[in-house]
A = this chain, B = another copy of it.
Amino acid sequence: MIRIAGMTRDHQITKNININNLDRNAYKWIWVDFNQPTEEEIKHLDSTFHFHPLAIEDCIHRLQRPKLDHYEDHTFFVTHSIQQREDELHKEEVNFFLGENFIVSFHHAPSKEVDTVWKSLDKPPKDVENWDEYYVFYEILDDIVDDYFPLLYKLEDQLDKIEENTQDKSMNQLMDELFDTRYSLLDLRHTINPMRDLLYRMLNTHRLDGVMKRKEYFADIYDHLLKLSDLVTSNRELTADIRDNYLSLNSHQANNVMKVLTIITSIFAPLTFIAGIYGMNFQYMPELTWRYGYFVALGVMAVMGVSLFIWFKWKGWFK
């Protein structure tokens, strides 16, 4: 679906504009939204707007890196919107063409952020005459970046849960969740870092006067991306710390288990051996006929067992 909004010369926002009889000069600026366009509708990018073939190719093909490309009379932006569905992050491209008095947004999937801004046009504020195509661009971009935060906070909550392990999950499961969280952070970084670099380029190029005019607004988005990038990096470090902590505790526990095994074996192996000796059936074994042979044997075994126990205790194996 292609929907078009425009601001008329007397600062009214109208939405009933049709792509086929679009007169761009009748409006101060227009916003054309390619919302899940059909193949037929996509052709308007070329036939109506004459965008650069490489930009159109980037619209059609699979996920690009966030970036901007300057072409002769328009600039092309690739951005990523991220949603979480059933514990998986889904990235969707939202692309923009900005030029003299127009903005074209393009997205194969429905975009919550674009819809929100589209609806907000119905209730324009008093200073609506200051609006232009870069205002629309800012509003959508701001929403897209704001929507990264809940995803990251959710990952932080997961890490907290893993670290405290209040639900007493098995190590196996915890390691798996940790791995998934690490992976999601890696995945997020691949959107956040190029988005941050994109905003940096937008703020430092002199070819986008719409950005220059409201520099503090776009700098506010850049700010958020810096914060996000910091959070991703330090959460990745935190996952590594948690894993190393688990591993060292695990190795320590293994050590203790092995100590128990060794103590048990060390105490009972010699005792059982002595019992075995007096279980032998030799005809001539003098001790067997002694009056207190049995009790002497028991005594020797008790002394042996207790000595070994004390020796291990003294060696500090019970700590």
Name A's B-contacting residues (CB within 8 A): 52, 54, 64-65, 67, 69-71, 170-172, 175-176, 178-179, 182-183, 186, 189-190, 194, 216-217, 219-220, 223, 226-227, 230, 234, 237-238, 241-255, 257-262, 264-273, 275-285, 287-294, 297-298, 301, 317, 319
Interface contact B278-A281, CB-CB below 8 Å: yes
Interface contact A284-B276, CB-CB below 8 Å: no
Assembled-state Cα–Cα distance A190/B235 (Å)? 12
- Which B residues lie within 8 Å of A246 (CB)? 248
CB distance from A63 to the nearest CB of B (A): 9
Assembled-state Cα–Cα distance A216/B52 (Å)? 9
Partner of A275, one of B70, B277, B284: B277
Interface contact B289-A293, CB-CB below 8 Å: no
- Which B residues lie within 8 Å of A285 (CB)? 281, 294
- Which B residues lie within 8 Å of A170 (CB)? 319
Partner of A258, one of B230, B234, B254, B292: B254
Assembled-state Cα–Cα distance A290/B257 (Å)? 39
Partner of A241, one of B179, B217, B242, B289: B179
Partner of A250, one of B189, B220, B244, B248: B248
Among A230, A243, A252, A291: residue with most chain B CB under 10 A: A252
Partner of A297, one of B183, B189, B266, B280: B280
Cβ-closest chain B residue relative to A223? B67
Interface contact A247-B258, CB-CB below 8 Å: no
What are 10 inter-chain pairs, A to B, with CB distance below 8 A?
A70-B216, A71-B216, A175-B249, A182-B241, A250-B255, A268-B272, A275-B280, A279-B280, A282-B294, A282-B297
Interface contact A252-B71, CB-CB below 8 Å: no
Interface contact A293-B288, CB-CB below 8 Å: no
Given contacts A247-B248, A281-B281, 12 further A-B contacts (CB under 8 A): A70-B216, A179-B241, A179-B245, A183-B238, A246-B248, A260-B262, A261-B266, A264-B265, A268-B270, A268-B272, A272-B273, A276-B276
Assembled-state Cα–Cα distance A164/B143 (Å)? 35
Cβ-closest chain B residue relative to A271? B273
Interface contact B252-A251, CB-CB below 8 Å: no
Assembled-state Cα–Cα distance A89/B67 (Å)? 30
- Which B residues lie within 8 Å of A289 (CB)? 283
Interface contact A234-B280, CB-CB below 8 Å: no
- Which B residues lie within 8 Å of A319 (CB)? 170
Partner of A279, one of B70, B245, B253, B276: B276
Interface contact A268-B273, CB-CB below 8 Å: yes
- Which B residues lie within 8 Å of A264 (CB)? 262, 265-266, 269
Interface contact B270-A273, CB-CB below 8 Å: no
- Which B residues lie within 8 Å of A294 (CB)? 280, 282, 284-285
